[in-house]
Chain A
Amino acid sequence: MTEPLVQVRGLVKHYPLTRGIVFKKQVGTVRAVDGVDFDLASGETLGLVGESGCGKSTVAKLVLRLEEATEGQVFFEGEDIHDMPHGRLRELRRQIQIVLQDPYSSLNPRMTVGDIVAEPFAVHRSVAPRESWRRRVQDLLERVGLDPDHVNRYPHQFSGGQRQRIGIARALALDPQVLVCDEAVSALDVSVQAQVINLLRQLQSDLGLAYLFIAHDLSVVRHISDRVAVMYLGKIVEVGERSDVFREPGHPYTQALLSAVPSPDPRKAGENDRIVLEGDVPSPADPPSGCHFRTRCWKATERCAAEEPALEVRAAGHPDACHFSEIRHVVR
């Protein structure tokens, strides 16, 4: 097997909690990302799922080095993104791009669509001569399914789905190898969401893109991903091939998460053996000892409080982080 395109190793991001304005005093630490490892191969889609506050969006920012990591490395083609001079990083930005969640705030309202999509060329002047920008922008708009004659319009003149396409066109301008999609379809209406999902799949097969697809919507992740990683409180608790994780989840959190998704099929509504979790996600400023999930877990024992489970292959046949891992079928 060839080396993965992106390798994330021991990634940690802690935010200090401070008090005071002039004399800041650190009173705690928010462990947003607390030791995350994963690989992303060329042309594949890795879905990263988890609930709000689990740290998945921070992972997105760390992979692009939009935030500095507290610890750990992100290798792109063997080079550590978090340990390279800014000049080199700027070059590397051409290879990894991001599509953000909110189609309303991710486009500068004072710029025309043409200027927005051409901005990558203006930033990386060596990519394309100025005369070619307009043609390239129009090609990009056409590629994402927009009318190329709309370059002089402003973002607010487009619907949410169309704006998201503009954001995708901007991300594609520099011909990247990796696209980080941070909740890229979550803000869209279902009928439009499907259009954008299909577009992303189309682009992947045309351009050979690798996606790090971050989302809270499990059905969307299931639909688009090759492999899936489940995050809880700053850690990956289970990772594997899509069908393995969805059909034969080993970690109790994954099982609860999957079983909680309401099925859009009323006939199945009753027969669902839904695992309803008690309580709330603990604060990442004060995570439980040992296994982070133990406070809501029905299997928890003393061992879970004392010993942190490693992410390794257990009963489920793919890596999970539960001492008492066992397969339970929750999706029918």
Chain B
Amino acid sequence: MSDKTRSRPDTRDVEPRGAARDQTGATGAAADPSGGEAAGELSGRSASLWADAWRELRHDKIFLVAAAVVTVFVVMAAFPVVFTRTNPRSCDLSRSLGRPSSENWFGYDLLGCDYYAQVVHGARVSIVIGILVTVIAVAIALVLGSLSGYYGGITDSIIARFTDVVFGLPFILGAIVILTVFENRGLFQVTLVLAVLGWTTMTRLMRSSVISVRDSDYVLAARALGTSDFRILTRHILPNAIAPVVVYATIYVGIVIAAEATLSFLGVGLQLPAISWGLMISDAQYRIAEAPHLLLFPGMFLSLTVLSFILMGDALRDALDPKLR
């Protein structure tokens, strides 16, 4: 071969033809309006999807703030002693409903327990349930979504119909009905019920994502090599199909945390003496006039956590798919 080429940066995508739109909004030719992942090599960096996303996220202020908040709450859940050395269960009735002061910013609850310690320790339940439920739901979604999307046919029909049936159950209402059956409701029961009801959206997402990857040429090439289904799924399909699920899972942690609080607030979630933001808000509702701080602090922490996860998910989605913006 005389025409041996030196490796040269990618150029073919550079012409941003997608930049053109005529009056009817039609694009001239199929092209990438972002101007191209072109020239990834220029700076010599490895630019896989995730590396690209990370490069983007590092400069995304909203993401950085949200991630910092999430980190704070995760640390709070894992090691509450970092934030308070006070035992949330050491109470003194004489301090009942004590207002926030310069000494104790969060005040005291009805039983005179340190409210700051209570709120800090409440993070654990929320974060644990949020992450646990999401992990279980993602696991179910990966398996069912991949099988359903990859094999199609009868496998798909069965899984997809079953998913639709579960999807049809209203999330909160379904959880209330099922949880009412349990005498004792702890972390385990609440997690289980939320996971059982909560895997459907991600499964459907995974399925459609797998279908869009399944017919790509590199999967065809892999099949032509005699690659096993398992290898095709794990090496070719999952890495290319998982991004939307990861995005949704991040947001979903926030949704689950809110759901747990809702259930506890309604009295069908966790039970006393567990410490949970939902329970605290539930208790606070009767004393909103005399002790508004009882509602304010757990409510604030809850909203902040949920919001942070959702913002993180949004930023992740934008970073993974710049075309959406």
Contact = CB atoms under 8 A, between A and B. Distances in A.
Contact of B225 (A93, A106, A109, A202): A93
Nearest to B52: A156
B192 interface: no
Interface in A15-56: 22
A195 B221 contact: no
Contact of B9 (A89, A100, A157, A161): A157
A276 interface: no
Given A98-B224, A123-B228, A124-B226, A106 B218 contact: yes
B5 A145 contact: yes
A243 interface: no
A107 interface: yes
Contact of A97 (B1, B12, B37, B224): B224
A126 B101 CA distance: 75
Given A110-B239, A123-B226, A198-B3, A105 B216 contact: yes
Interface stretch (A147-155, A216-224, A298-306): A147-155
Contacts of B6: 147
A157 B218 CA distance: 17
Contacts of A124: 225-226
A89 B37 CA distance: 38
Contacts of A170: 221, 225
Chain B: number of interface residues, binned into ranges: 35 or more
Contact of B220 (A89, A100, A202): A100
Given A159-B10, A162-B7, A100 B217 contact: yes
Interface in A96-151: 97-98, 100-102, 105-111, 119-120, 122-124, 145-147, 150
Nearest to A202: B1
A174 B221 CA distance: 13
Contact of A145 (B1, B9, B240): B1
A128 to B, nearest CB: 14
B91 interface: no
Contacts of B3: 145, 195, 198-199
B11 A159 contact: yes
Interface in B3-40: 3-12, 37, 40
Contacts of A171: 221
B89 interface: no
A173 to B, nearest CB: 8
B221 A100 contact: yes
- Shortest 10 CB-CB contacts between residues of A and residues of B: A93-B226, A106-B217, A157-B41, A90-B226, A110-B239, A108-B218, A145-B4, A105-B217, A100-B217, A98-B224
Contacts of B37: 156
B227 A119 contact: yes
B7 A147 contact: yes
B5 A123 contact: no
A158 interface: yes
Interface string B210-244: 00000011101111111110010001100110000
B48 interface: yes
B304 interface: no
